[in-house]
Amino acid sequence: MTTLAIDYQDIIAASQRIKGHAVITPLLESPMLNQELGGRILFKAENIQRTGSFKFRGAFNKLSILAQANQLSGVVAYSSGNHAQGVAAAAAYFGVPATIIMPADAPQIKITNTKTLGARVVLYDRNTEDREAIGLKLAHEHNLTLVPPYDDADIIAGQGTVGLEAANQLEELGLVPDQAIGPIGGGGLMSGTATALKYHFPNITVWGAEPEGHDDAARSISVGQRLANKNAPSSICDAIVTPMVGKLTFPIIQRYLDGAKAVDDQHVLITMAMCMQLLKLVVEPGGCVGLAAILNKSLAVKNKTTLVILSGGNADPAMLGLAMQR
């Protein structure tokens, strides 16, 4: 068997590092929704995590490890916006400068928040420039450590604390979930989370959710090798429109995920409205694709206990307005 980038113990260690820094986000449920769907859905509300997404967990874990090893001077990261804020907040905590490379068309809220958190923001054109190349160049020129968005063991372990925390909360409620689903882009969240969930609940099935036309995870799992999205259509799910899952995340995904489900923008908007109404939560498009995959009937939940990860809430007001019109 392939050696995986992380194991359960790495997630336990990460959870000790982020303790008192990351929010212990609650598991929420809606009796209305449970009744309508005929199953029990528990939502892990990472949209109310510090910086508005789970990304703070991985970033804080990574920077914490670097600081401990006296290897933390300054950091650089590329990100569509959520990892950006996570890295900026963690860098501010450790008192080191952060430079973040973001697409010029990222939601304004993500750009503004990243700057407010004290980071220097460098915008690039997603269609003509290569963010990894810009990141490596800046890292080299200014002696900065590159903090990758997902393909890094410390990042994966940090994101895995979402699954660990949810597992502990489910156990406190005396629940054994049948299945879990959450957003998959590069795969950091779901590879880490699945590692923790399978440890606690060996019989659970774990699913990714991704935008239609960006179904690289589903296809990669299906054929057993990493496949990229080609000529992918535009999607409102900016947080998870990565070209393909990571080199380190994929072996974990292969081992622990049962597949991935695709959702279209219209279902995503309906889901955002439902989260506001039933859960009192503002979620961003890419954050709620797990629930969208249930609502579009890609994942059956009847008579089952399902964990749904809501991964982020950084949506611009215009996007919320669109959702509320559904």
* Sequence letter at residue 90: A
Q: Does 233 bind a second copy (CB under 8 A)?
A: no
Q: Does 176 bind a second copy (CB under 8 A)?
A: no
3-class secondary-structure state, position 46:
helix
13 vs 60: CA distance, rounded Å: 12
Nearest distance from C-beta of residue 154 to a second copy, angstroms: 23
Q: Which two tokens stand for residue 20?
A: 């008192």
| Cα distances (angstroms) measured from residue 103 to each of 9, 78, 123, 124, 269 | 35, 9, 5, 5, 23
Q: What is the pairing mode between strands 305-310 and 40-45?
A: parallel
- Do residues 120 and 99 make contact, with C-beta atoms less than 8 angstroms apart? yes
Nearest distance from C-beta of residue 130 to a second copy, angstroms: 31
Q: Residue 232: how many CB atoms within 10 A of its CB? A: 15
Per CB under 8 A, the list member of 16, 68, 108, 116 interacting with a second copy is 116
Per CB under 8 A, the list member of 147, 181, 257, 282 interacting with a second copy is 282
Nearest to a second copy of 117, 248 (CB atom)? 117
3-class secondary-structure state, position 168:
helix
Nearest distance from C-beta of residue 296 to a second copy, angstroms: 21
Q: Does 82 bind a second copy (CB under 8 A)?
A: no
Q: Does 172 bind a second copy (CB under 8 A)?
A: yes
Per CB under 8 A, the list member of 39, 52, 86, 211 interacting with a second copy is 52
Question: What residues make contact with a second copy under the rule CB under 8 A?
Answer: 20, 23-28, 31-32, 35, 45, 47-48, 52, 89, 109, 113, 116-117, 172-173, 273, 276-277, 279-283, 313-314, 317, 320-321, 324
